[in-house]
Every structure is written in C-alpha cells, then in structure tokens.
Amino acid sequence: MEFDYGNLADNLVAGNIDVVRDLTQKAVASGMTPRDILEKGLLAGMDIVGKRFKAFEMFIPEVLRSAKSMHAAMEILRPLLIASGVKTAGTLVIGTVQGDLHDIGKNLVSMMFEGAGFSVVDLGVDIKPQAFVDAVSEHQANVLGLSAMLTTTMPKMLETVGAIQSAGIRNQVKIMVGGAPVTSDFAESIGADAYAANATSAVEKAKELLK
C-alpha cells in the first residue's frame, strides 16, 4: 500500500510538528525511500508554504511552525539520505554579520533553505568576516547568506565579501544578502550576487544562481 504523501505534506503545511515526525517514522518503517519521503511529502509541503507566504496567505509564525516540522522530519531522514547518497540542492553557510545580534529573519531563511533540500550551516549572530571565510572553505559551500538588520552593521557585509575575495574562493560561492535596511542596489554596490527581500525569494534566487 502506497504511503499517503499528501497527508504528510498537509500536516507540514499545518505545522503539526509531532504528526509530521510520526508520519515520517511510519513512512520509513513502511519501506518508503528517503528520497520519496523528502520530495513527495516534505518538499511538496514546503513548496506550498513558500507560495502561500509569498501570497500573504501565511505569516511568519505559521511558516516557522511548518519549518520546524520540516526540521523534525529531517532529523530522521538526514542520516538515511546521506547513507543512500542523495545529493542536496546545495550547501548554504549563513549568519548575521559582526556587531548584529538579530536572528529571526536569518533563522527563517535557514529553515526555508533546509526545507528546499539544502544542507545548511547556520553560524549564528555577530559573525566576523574571517569566520564566514573559514566556514565556506570547510563546508565547500556554494551559497553564502549574510544578514544585517542595522544600517551600522551593513559595512560588515562589504568587509565579508572582500575577505571572501582575498581568500581566493569568490568564484566557488554565490553571495546573497538580506535584512531590513538592505537593498538590491546595496547588494550590487558591494559585489554580492543577489539580494532577497524574504525567505521564499531567497530560496528561489539561490536556485537560479546555481543553475
């Protein structure tokens, strides 16, 4: 009997964390492949979440619950996916730049990227430029996300882009920036590859950059 992936997706959209975890366990126990569980259930659900968030039909608290549901399922699936050799959509290193302690937007972006099949390395807040460089090198990341919520910390984005260039790894990673005071013009002025106004568009732009 085929597992009901639609039910898994619906519960993820609804943010039913415990139900999503239980259904993922049942899918694994029923012999469903990790790839099918991820793509037909979890990613299908997160795709709906992304579209509803973009259309203002879902809001940040609801999206966070859906993302946490995805995270709970991925705790079960991640080792199985690695063991089966399933490739991720990419690797994202993300953090809030030095001097800035804001993390809600960054956390949402991290969860949405994980929900889109990326491997995510979240460095946290108040991250120095060299720490971003080290993480990109260590994890062979192909996307770097820089967050700033203060105009006073935006120059650290420029400094971080410069550090990436100086380290000789600029051509291996796409740099994306975001945060309340950040604009597409600012992103272009510091040599970043893209600006994203919200978590959903960040995922979309990352996928475009990696094509």
Domains of the chain: 5-83 (1.10.1240.10), 91-209 (3.40.50.280)
In this structure, what are the phi and psi dihedrals at residue 141, rounded to the nearest 5 degrees?
-70, 145
pLDDT band at 126 (very low <50, low <70, confident <90, very high): very high
Count Cβ atoms within 10 A of the Cβ of residue 143 and give its class: 0-12 exposed, 13-18 middle, 19 or more buried. Answer: buried
Q: Indicate the pTM of the whole model.
A: 0.79
The string of DSSP codes covering 195-211 is E-SSHHHHHHHHHHHT-
161-206 pLDDT, tens digit per residue, is: 999 999 999 999 999 999 999 999 999 999 999 999 988 889 999 9
DSSP-H helix ranges across the chain: 5-14, 17-29, 34-36, 44-54, 60-83, 104-115, 129-139, 155-166, 184-189, 199-209
pLDDT score, position 127: 98
pLDDT band at 1 (very low <50, low <70, confident <90, very high): low
Partner residues linked to 176 by β-bridges: 145, 194
Are the CB atoms for 199 and 112 separated by under 8 Å? Answer: yes
8-19 pLDDT, tens digit per residue, is: 999 999 999 999
